[in-house]
Structure 1
Amino acid sequence: MAPDQPEFPQSAPQRDTLAWKLHALQLRGLGWAAQHGITLLRLALGVVFVWFGAQKFFPGVSVAQDLATHTISALTFGTVGAQVSLPVLAAWECLIGLGLLSGRFLPATLLLLLAQMAGTFMPLVLFPAETFKIVPWVPTLEGQYIIKNLVLVAAALVVGATARGGKLIYDAQAAETAEHTQLVHERFRQRFHQEPGE
């Protein structure tokens, strides 16, 4: 006679049900994403910048080079030509990419990234005929190439928010506790680090 199987209370999750297994798998996936997601995001950004930047070392290879050099020329009132601006931009983007890939000097790397990204949006203002079919609703392929940089900026901000050791928290209750603790610390600093006489 087979031994009796242990009985779970009706309110307890049944470990052999599909719903329980899916829930456990989801929690495992969330934990993995929280642990590795920021690192993967940083590395992906680094690959994109090195990949696109390296192309600009070879004139005629990058599809964005003409728009980029025209923009730099317009911003410098024609004093910086493509022969100078293209390799400088290539080196700049590769430097950003290498900084992201290595994870070193992240604050400086992200500052370079945000400055470079600000420049990439200028063609939308300077050359609307080249970046839009219908301003401002229907971008050309070049315009779409520029607008997608919003995602890169947002990704850089996420990486920057964790540059000094911050982590993602996938547990809602733990995240709420951490946020509350941070708020308490911030209020403490504001209260006890005021200038004398305030």
Structure 2
Amino acid sequence: MAANGILFLRVSLGIIFVWFGVLKFFPGLSSAADLATRTISILSFGLVGPELSMPILALWETLIGIGLIFRLFLRETLLLLFLQMMGTISPIFFFPFETFSSIPFVPTLEGQYIIKNIVIISAGIVIGATVRGGKLVAEPPRKNQTHPEDGRVLKNNKV
């Protein structure tokens, strides 16, 4: 799990972003389109209408997915992901009567769709921890144990 967990997390998250992003290129296929266009309109102070917001959002999400799947420009990809998540969470505040049937404890289907993004944000943080070479290890090294990759002797869990 430690050897492949981050790879699986990154690729599976990428697949979700590509899938949901591509759906937004085709009018009527994304169940989130209406809420997304209204949210973008509010966030852009009415400057970006639905005819422009959906293709931009579709491209944005698809690029995030491609970046995650192929590990391309990972820092920039994760920045796009976190910015997109801020926009995705905002309908809870802009449209609380559409995202909750009983505020704040009973989310509607749209609210559940938004709340699950907590997991996506957490996944992004975990993936981000690997950008500069961080990785999961199956078990911390014990005293005087050799390093599993290069055989160096570890003293007190240090090289």
TM-score normalised by structure 2 residue count: 0.88
Question: Structure 2: how far apart are the matches of 1:164 and 1:49?
Answer: 23
Question: Please, which of 63, 67, 91 is the counterpart of residue 123 of structure 1?
Answer: 91
Aligned residues: 146
Equivalence for 2:145:
none
Shift of residue 104, structure 1, vs aligned partner: 1.7
Structure 2 residue runs of 5 or longer lacking an equivalent are 143-153
Shift of residue 78, structure 1, vs aligned partner: 1.8
Q: Which structure would you say has the larger RCO, counting Cα contacts within 8 Å and 6 or more residues apart? A: 2
Larger helix proportion, structure 1 or 2?
1
Q: Confirm or deny that 1:144 pairs with 2:138.
A: no
Question: Structure 2: how far apart are the matches of 1:169 and 1:144?
Answer: 33
Q: Confirm or deny that 1:87 pairs with 2:55.
A: yes
- Give the root-mean-square deviation of aligned CA atoms: 1.5
Question: Structure 1: how far apart are the matches of 2:86 and 2:43?
Answer: 12
Question: Structure 2: how far apart are the matches of 1:59 and 1:67?
Answer: 13
Shift of residue 173, structure 1, vs aligned partner: 4.2
TM-score normalised by structure 1 residue count: 0.71
Question: Structure 2: how far apart are the matches of 1:56 and 1:34?
Answer: 34
**Bigger radius of gyration among the two:** 1
Question: Please, which of 54, 71, 78 is the counterpart of residue 22 of structure 2?
Answer: 54
After the TM superposition, which parts of structure 1 deviate over 3 Å for at least 4 consecutive aligned residues?
A: none
Identity level (%): 57
Question: Structure 1: how far apart are the matches of 2:49 and 2:72?
Answer: 32
